Structure 1
Amino acid sequence: MSETVTDHENTGPGAEPDDRALLAEAVRSWTRIVAWVLTVGGLVAFIASFTLTVEKIELFKNPDYIPSCNFSPVLSCGSVMATPQAGVFGFPNPLLGIAGFAVVITTGVAILAGARLAGWYWAGLQIGVTLAMAFVCWLIYTSLYTIGALCPYCMVVWAMTLPIFVFVSVRNLHASGLTSRSGLALAVARSHALVLVGVVAVVIVLIAVRFWDYWSSLY
């Protein structure tokens, strides 16, 4: 495949050679990191999506089937899978995960094997992971405030989608040259760990507050 980025794409007009070299090294470093995140995160999310699909098929075959992820009234895949939100596009949501994370895994493995992806591919990947992150945010909201139950396997997918989105975004901020031209872009890229921890903390707090009556009843 073609080179991922060019010097012109990496830097603004008049950029110094040293700046170009540093930015190119940052892109290479982040690309290697992203490859592992895509491979490992994609694999974990794929397994969760595949397992959910199997559970959904079992429910189709036997309405009395109890999914393996039914642990309590709150942690219950069965309750979530029975809602319209579980098939918002007319088919089970996990099928989206199977297809999407298969692409994610393939991309990660290809990079680890030495593939150099074209800029248009990275742009498409960015669009894909951004849409996936937006969909996950919607699923979190509906699980908490519409359905009133949490699907453990779904939460695994949520947990993997977040770092995939963040790391791909940071890599592309460097590759586009924005981090060399914009202090805000550079600050965002440098704060990726804080973003990850912050989002996870917010979701945990929302879950704790939403189901506090249930959690407190356990003690």
Structure 2
Amino acid sequence: MPDLSTFPITKRWPARHPERLQLYSVPTPNGVKVSIMLEEIGLPYEAHAINIGQNETWTPEFLSLNPNGKIPAIIDPDGPGGKPLGLFESGAILLYLAEKSGQLLPVDPALRYETIQWVFWQMGGLGPMFGQLGYFHKFAGREIEDKRPLERYRAESQRLLGVLENRLAGRTWIMGEAFTIADVSILGWVRNLIGFYGAGDLVDYGSLSHVPAWLERCLARPAVERGLNIPPRP
């Protein structure tokens, strides 16, 4: 039986099944990347719900695993060399799980890097811009009289959707016929933009054709449907 006692986070969120991968998360656009990935690849795991509304990511136990204080994070009891590995940052976790399982990442080197570039595109552009738009459209940013920040993020979010729309023209998935970590990394953010943030009209989502069809295909996948609700919110 793996010994995870060297990870302080397991004191606050004990592992009932220490032989399984431990997931510390909540169903946000970043959090569901990992739960969807785990459901897609079929790797046994145990999910721990982190209450971000009560600032549990800033507790000493959570910070011991992710000093950046953000979900998701994982502990793999069977990491490289058979030793436990703690890991944070959703993009890094997606890459790790893809390589560990041999799934959702092309073997061909050129296609592999093409897939990774779309994951990085989401990490560096789509996610941050959509998140800022959500803040200025739905949350406290609405109270700011100067609307230039809102317009900046609205315009950039709309531009990024245009990039995705062009990429999906003639393709079932971002990489063509294969569903990959590129799709996993992006789908939650697009869903959040038009759903939870209610910003579809702002970015003229209705004028798109390829992105909505792609999102519908993503959401129809059983593993995606399950992963979007794991772990249940506290």
- Specify the TM-score bucket, using the shorter chain as the normaliser: 0.3 to 0.5
More helix by share: 1
More strand by share: 2
Report the structure number with the largest CA radius of gyration. Answer: 1
TM-score by length of 1: 0.39
Asked which structure has the greater RCO (Cα within 8 Å, sep 6+), the reply is 1
TM-score by length of 2: 0.38
